[in-house]
Amino acid sequence: MSEPPRLDFSINDDAEIHVKHLGNERRPVVIVDNLLRHPQTMLDFAGRGDGFAEDRSDFYPGIRKPLPDDYAAAITTLVGTALREGLAIEGAFEPETILCALSIVTRKPSTLAPIQRIPHIDTSRSDQIAVVHYLCDPHHGGTSFYRHRETRFETIDESRNQEYRKSLERQATTIGLPARQYIGGDTALFERIATIDAKFNRAIFYCSNLLHAGDINVKSGLPADPITGRLTATCFVRLLRQS
C-alpha cells in the first residue's frame, strides 16, 4: 500500500507577528496570525486514522496525537529566528522541541482534579517556550493569563516555586478548593490579566512558567472530533544554552 502524500507544514511568509507585554511583570506573549502557509494540512493530518489518546502522565484535560517532525522543526526554527527578539531571548542557544502534539480538550468539568481548575505553569524553568496553535473556531475559546492574588506572582520560576506551592496548600484549607469547572476569569485566588482570543491558524508563544489556562467553552459539548472540537497544536521548545 502506498504511503500518504507528504504534508506541508511550512511557515507562511506573510505571517503577522505581534507582541503583547502582560501584567505588572511585562512578560512577552508573541501572537502570530496566519502561521502556516497551508493550515488545512493540520486538519488533514488530524483526520488520518485515529491516533488521539489521553496521556495519563500529565494533567492535560483531553486527548493528544503526536505531530510529525516537520511541524516541530518549523516551530523551533521560528522560535530561533523571527521570534527571538519578541520573546526577549538573549545569548546563544539551540531550540529543541520536547513535546509537539495535536490536542483536543474533552474532559467534563465535573471530572477535573483541583489542579486542573486553576491556572497552571508547564514548568518552573525559564528556558522553555510554550506554543499553542489554534486550529478551531473562535467560539471554542483562547488562552488567558493570570496573577496569583496573595503572592502577586504572574510567573512561577524556580525561585518562587516553593513559596507559591505553600500558599496554594494553605489556601486550599482556608478558602477551599476551586469550583468543579474550568477557570474562565477572576476568582478568589486569581485575577485574569490578559486574554488572547482563539483564531484559526493563530499561534501564541510565551514562557512556560507564566500562569495561564485555556478558556474552555463547555457549551460546545467538548467533542473529541478534531473538526468540531477544540483542536490546537501544543509544543514545548527548550532553549539549550550554548557555552
- What's the farthest any 2 CA atoms get from each other in the chain? 62
* Whether pLDDT at 10 is above 60: yes
Tell whether 51 is covered by a domain. Answer: yes
* Whether pLDDT at 150 is above 90: yes
CB atoms within 10 A of CB 83: 23
> Do the beta carbons of residue 224 and residue 230 sit within 8 Å?
no
Name the more confident of 222 and 93: 222
197 CB contacts (<8 Å, ≥6 apart)?
138, 142
What whole-number distance in Å separates Cα of residue 222 and Cα of residue 64?
14
Q: What is the strand order of the sheet 143-148 is part of? A: 190-196, 143-148, 212-214
Torsion angle (degrees, nearest 10) of CA 159, 165, 167, 171? 160
Tell whether 106 is covered by a domain. Answer: yes
Domain span at residue 67?
A: 16-241
Digit-coded pLDDT (tens) for 153-206: 999 999 999 999 999 999 999 999 999 999 999 999 999 999 999 999 999 999
Say whether 202 sits in a helix, a strand or coil. Answer: strand
CATH code of the domain containing 94: 2.60.120
Q: Where are the beta strands (DSSP E) in 34-167?
A: 62-66, 93-105, 128-134, 143-148
Residue 172 has which C-alpha cell? 486550599
Query: Taking CA 30 as the corner, what is the angle to CA 35 and CA 120, rounded to the nearest 5 degrees?
Result: 110
What whole-number distance in Å separates Cα of residue 232 and Cα of residue 86?
22
Q: Model pTM?
A: 0.95
Tell whether 7 is covered by a domain. Answer: no
185 DSSP assignment? S
What whole-number distance in Å separates Cα of residue 22 and Cα of residue 80?
22
Digit-coded pLDDT (tens) for 232-241: 999 999 999 8
Torsion angle (degrees, nearest 10) of CA 166, 172, 178, 179? 170
Which pairs from 107-113 meet CB under 8 Å and 24+ separation? 107/61, 107/62, 107/222, 108/218, 108/222, 109/180, 109/181, 109/182, 109/218, 110/180, 112/61, 112/180, 112/181, 112/182, 113/59
What whole-number distance in Å separates Cα of residue 217 and Cα of residue 204?
19
Digit-coded pLDDT (tens) for 33-89: 999 999 999 999 998 878 999 987 789 999 999 999 999 999 999 999 999 999 999
* Whether pLDDT at 14 is above 70: yes
Distances (CA, A) of 226 to 102, 133, 152, 159: 9, 14, 37, 39
Q: How many structural domains compose the chain? A: 1
Interval 87-109 mean pLDDT: 94
